[in-house]
Structure 1
Amino acid sequence: MEAEHDSQSQRLLANFQSYVSAHPSTVLLDPLPAMSQLLDRFTSYRIMSMLQNSLIDWRVCCPPYLEINSVGDISSIQDAMDSKGLSFPLICKTRVAHGSLSHEMCLIFGAGSLDDVRPPCVLQSFVNHGAVLHKVFVVGDKHYCVDRPSLKNFPPGPCDRMTIFFNSHEVSKPESSSHLNALDERMPCLPPPSSEAVAALVGELRAQLGMALFGVDIIVNIHTHTLTIIDINFFPGYEGVPQFFSSLLGHIESVLDRQTADGLQAATCSE
């Protein structure tokens, strides 16, 4: 069923690409190749990793991660983890970054549970962050930060705890109340992300992605207070963003104005 759904999606995309090619005046808010790269966590995580160098002054990073393409023996996964600097607990995410299945994840606490990995997927070191997820929504030249519930803290290091399977959408909904995001009340509040650091991150992502409508999930490390990127999202839901539709309309108008100006300039140059 999943393969059939993927095949149908590919046909729809191919038909849309054919339509755009046949109608060059069609206005796309973001280019299709740019959007496609965020449908694959392998690609988006490589982008996240590259961003660290340009944002080092802002203390922005992403956790160590490992791409798993196929089922292998546990020892080879452990060797790859060691070489990439991953540590337990791990969060395992599907390679596909869109659709309902992309929200199905699990927390793996020790080598004895690595057989719960279901490739193709990404393994990422879990970072304790005080159960707060900061979702940054980008609309053209504006961005908005909305706080959501997130996974609670877990003791670092390997242990024999059973793997926890969960749906990230259910854990991080605005009204979510789950045992997975219930934080110890004695946990001190973390400082919010620096607005300057978030602006720098958004600027780098706009340039790197070549996109204007996307989201980025960030957390604050409870120990180092480092701003940590954990995911990039293609056209997220924008739930909780104030005046989203007016911002989107303003962005659409600016895109149309630029296209009109470019068309006039091209016509003038051809005369």
Structure 2
Amino acid sequence: MRLNGEICQKEEEDKRVSELNNKAESLHSMIGVEFPQPKQKMIVGYALTSKKKKSFLQPKLEVLARDKGIIFVAIDIDRPLSDQGPFDVVLHKLLGKEWCDVIEEYRQNHPEVTVLDPPHAIERLHNRQSMLQDVEDLNLSEYHGKVGVPRQMVITRDPLSIPEEVTKAGLKLPLVAKPLLVDGSAKSHELFLAYDQYSLSELEPPLVLQEFVNHGGVLFKIYIVGETIKVLRRFSLPNVCKHELEKVVGAYPFPRVSSASASADDADLDPTIAELPPQPLLERLARELHHRLGLQLFNIDMIREHGARDVFYVIDINYFPGYGKMPDYEHIFTDFLLSLMQSKFNKRPVT
């Protein structure tokens, strides 16, 4: 049992300790030292196809994310999105007008949630004509190179009219034929290289015809995650010489170059072909497209014109590409997510 004097003495000691703590906190605040705060959980809701979920949400990513306080939660597309969560970030890659309407309404009703990315912005990359329009307007000559788009045209008519349309437009063979719409199906990724005009009439509109640019058989895949840029080399089609063009006829399937097995990063290549595009050029290109497209997650397929060190062409832009094929993507993506939360925290009004 404590006496009254002991109780009063204890109260005085507690008061002095409290005053000292307040002074210490004030001093730390003045010199810019912050007290450690408990780790805050970041909830990322995701709506992905089963294929994208398997390639992106790999165990290593989820383990690293948990260590950094990031929790991935699956969104049930059969339930109202507003009834789920709460989320700090919504990550999605689903097609269809119904889903676009759902996510757009959610964005309007929940401005506090970061949605990656706006459906109307993603929609532009579902059309191979609109996806490259912003690149055509760029002038990056002050950034150690020139970036453009190969000459191309859109065909929507009967295939028998294609040779005549190509002649009128003055496009030169060979031509890369690509489906106009990118709808996630295997067919939308079926590309052909047409060597003669007669084979053009065998193609199936609607499609985009793009002049083939000799590029030494190497394509640069430029991955964008927020402000981070990662460049990988992939093997592509070899150069086409005039002699070959005179001998070869028909339209041949264009091999896909997105798989890791097509990597050319460790190959013994001619330095003039293997040299990566200049970093200032890539940074400016990524920044411009990020602003013009309104997207945070995309990749750019780019080639260098053979024999010209500083002339490049963008031939495709893809939304939320296969980041799982990008080395160290787990750290890059989790750091990006944390930067979104930090940015949101910095924008909060000071009270």
In the alignment, the residues of structure 1 paired with residue 299 and residue 216 of structure 2 have an alpha-carbon distance, to the nearest angstrom, of 21
Q: Deviations over 1:151-173 (max 9, x none)?
A: 122124964511102352xx442
Following superposition, the deviation at residue 137 of structure 1 comes to 0.2
- Given the alignment of the two structures, is residue 112 of structure 1 paired with residue 206 of structure 2, yes or no? no
Maintained 8 Å contact 2:220/2:303? yes
The answer on whether the counterparts of 2:129 and 2:180 sit within 8 Å (CA) in structure 1 is yes
Secondary structure of the residue that 1:190 maps to in structure 2?
Answer: helix
- Which has the greater radius of gyration? 2
Q: Deviations over 1:135-158 (max 9, x none)?
A: 000111110001111112212496
8 Å contact 1:129–1:219 — kept in the other structure?
yes
**Secondary structure at 1:264 match in 2:** coil
Measure how far apart 1:242 and its partner are: 2.7
Q: Can you list the C-alpha shifts for 1:47-97, whole angstroms capped at 9, x where unaligned?
A: 22222xx22342222211111123262454124421xxx211000111122
% identical equivalent positions:
29
Partner of 2:169: 81
State the shift of 1:233 in Å: 1.0
Pick aligned residue for 2:99 from 4, 12, 15: 12
1:247 aligns with 2:329: no
Q: Of 142, 152, 163, which aligns to 2:238? A: 152
Deviations 1:18-70 (A, max 9, x none): 3333434332133222222111111112122222xx22342222211111123
The alpha-carbon deviation at position 119 of structure 1 amounts to 1.5
- Deviation of 1:234 after TM superposition, in Å, equals 0.7
TM-aligned CA deviation for residue 14 of structure 1: 2.3
Q: Aligned partners of 1:114, 1:151: CA distance in 2, in Å?
A: 19
Which residue identity is paired with 2:101?
Answer: A
- Distance in structure 2 (CA, Å) of the matches to 1:131 and 1:197: 21
The residue matched to 1:70 in structure 2 has which SS? coil
Query: Is the 2:163–2:198 Cα contact (8 Å) retained in structure 1?
Result: no
Would the alpha carbon gap of residues 172 and 31 (structure 1) be closer, same or farther in structure 2, given more than 3 Å must change? closer
Amino acid corresponding to residue 78 of structure 1 in structure 2: V
> Which ranges in structure 2 are unaligned for 5 or more consecutive residues?
1-94
Would you say how many aligned residue pairs link Structure 1 and Structure 2? 246
CA RMSD between the two structures: 2.7
Q: TM-score normalized by structure 1?
A: 0.80
- My pick for the range that moved more, 152-161 or 230-239, is 152-161
Give the superposition deviation at 1:127: 0.8
Amino acid at match of 2:230: Y
Q: Distance in 2 between matches of 1:75 and 1:230?
A: 22
2:253 equivalent among 165, 169, 176: 165
Please list, as runs of the form range in 1=range in 2, the aligned pairs for 1:190-205 lying within 5 A after superposition: 190-192=273-275, 193-205=277-289
Q: Is the 8 A contact 2:173 2:211 kept in 1?
A: yes
Q: Where do residues 98-109 of structure 1 align in structure 2 (5 Å cutoff)?
A: 98-99=183-184, 100-109=186-195
- Unaligned runs of at least 5 residues, structure 1: 1-7
Q: Does 1:64 align with 2:123?
A: no
Please say if residues 300 and 316 of structure 2, whose CA atoms lie closer than 8 Å, have aligned partners that are also in contact. yes
2:136 counterpart of 1:49? yes
* 1:90 lines up with 2:175 in the alignment: yes
Q: 1:120 to 1:56 in 2, by over 3 A?
A: farther
Q: Which amino acid in the other structure matches residue 208 of structure 1?
A: R
Letter in 1 for 2:254: F
Distance 1:9 1:219 in 2: 31
Asked whether 1:21 is paired with 2:108, we answer yes
Residue 208 of structure 1: CA displacement? 1.5
Secondary structure of the equivalent of 1:87?
Answer: coil
Higher relative contact order (CA 8 A, sep 6+): 1
